[in-house]
Copies of this chain bind each other. A is one copy, B any other.
Amino acid sequence: MSVQLNVVPFVSVDKMMKLVLAIGIERFLSELAATIEEDFRRWHVFDKQPRVASHSADGVIELMPTSDGTTYGFKYVNGHPKNAHSGRQTVAAFGVLADVGNGYPMLLTEMTILTALRTAAMSAVAARHLAPKGARTMAIIGNGAQAEFQALAFKALVGIDSLRLYDIDASASAKCRRNLGRFGFDIRLCSGAADAVEGADIVTTATADKQSATILTDNLVGPGIHINAVGGDCPGKTELHPDILRRSDIFVEYAPQTRLEGEIQQLPADHPVTELWRVIAGEATGRRDGRQITLFDSVGFAVEDFSALRYLRSVLAGTRFFEDLDLLADPDDPRDLFGMLLRAGP
């Protein structure tokens, strides 16, 4: 990293993709998952502010800050379901890591790809504690931008080698199978949700519509499975029938946020849930037995983004996968900002 005070390392989309491929997608996911577990084990040190949301008719723009007292991170992320119609991502993001001691940013990075990776890594971390032992088959319902990342994270961290794919748009499933061709999965394209969940140890739901839909009904959910609910992640958007929730042991990232944004917005505000960090820290039990239905009601939390930024920074040093961004004014004399401006003239 540079010692010039004006410069902030910047990871562009192009550099991020090349970095991830240079490290290897599965290794990146595994190391990122390890960083998330590390941070979840020290959950109490984090400043857990609610995200700062600016809602509009078409979507939301959010700032998600957190700090461990030494390092500060935030993510800017939008959520605009109609964006796909204009060729844009429904979710795009960038983030910053900064030094709490002097307030200076020390990393600026794209986070659209990084968020896809951290969401998948987070799901796999949860599944390591919640999925049935020896799970090898996962259904993925909703085969959009998150599907392949989920598949690879569950391969790397849980041992999934068989996928059952379903999407209302068959071309999405075909895209998913094509992209995963080189990774050694046994892949089956399914004709519906009922077909997809048959024989699955884990069911991942990752649909994208900003509305409450019932992707899974109660009769489809057999004993012993783990449900990884990724798509229901904002007020008014859920994927699961409430009867499934009532039969499941529910695990969440941060209960105050999940009660607003997750599947459990369909349940009374006092319905018991377990925060996942307690399981990871050994303070609560994850899966108890082979017949229990476990549910990870994932909405994404600032600490995970912090982990992702922290992991990214740790692998950047000494690489060529960042640029120097001239982001911070750095006059020779801090009181002489104006003099610096004048001296920039011809």
> Which B residues lie within 8 Å of A58 (CB)?
100-103
Verify if A330 is at the interface (C-beta below 8 Å from B): yes
> Which B residues lie within 8 Å of A331 (CB)?
89, 145
**What is the bound-complex CA distance between A334 and B88, given in angstroms?**
6
**What is the bound-complex CA distance between A13 and B10, given in angstroms?**
15
Are B149 and A59 in contact (CB-based, < 8 A)?
no
Total interface residues on A, using CB and 8 Å? 80
Verify if A80 is at the interface (C-beta below 8 Å from B): yes
**Interface of A toward B, CB cutoff 8 Å:** 5-6, 10, 12-14, 17-18, 20-21, 25, 47, 49, 52, 54, 56, 58-61, 63, 65, 67, 69, 72, 74, 76, 78-80, 83-84, 86-90, 92, 94, 96, 98, 100-105, 110, 112-113, 116, 143-145, 147-149, 172, 175, 178-179, 325-331, 333-342, 344-345
Are B179 and A339 in contact (CB-based, < 8 A)?
yes
> Which B residues lie within 8 Å of A175 (CB)?
333, 335-336, 339
| A interface majority secondary structure | mixed
**What is the bound-complex CA distance between A116 and B340, given in angstroms?**
13
Are A74 and B63 in contact (CB-based, < 8 A)?
yes
**Do A14 and B326 contact each other (CB < 8 Å), given the known contacts A67-B54, A102-B86?**
yes
Q: Which 6 A-B pairs have the closest CB atoms?
A: A78-B103, A17-B344, A148-B338, A112-B329, A12-B326, A145-B337
Q: Select one of B13, B72, B84, B329 contacting A328, CB under 8 A.
A: B13
> Which B residues lie within 8 Å of A101 (CB)?
56, 58, 80
Are B102 and A334 in contact (CB-based, < 8 A)?
no
> Which B residues lie within 8 Å of A325 (CB)?
10, 12
A292 to chain B, nearest CB (A): 32
A343 to chain B, nearest CB (A): 8
Are A89 and B330 in contact (CB-based, < 8 A)?
yes
User: What residue in chain B is nearest A180 (Cβ atoms)?
Assistant: B338
A237 to chain B, nearest CB (A): 16
Are B63 and A18 in contact (CB-based, < 8 A)?
no
Interface centre among A52, A54, A175, A338 (most CB of B within 10 A): A338
A-B contact pairs, 10 of them (CB 8 A): A5-B88, A13-B329, A21-B342, A21-B344, A52-B63, A56-B100, A89-B331, A92-B103, A145-B337, A172-B335
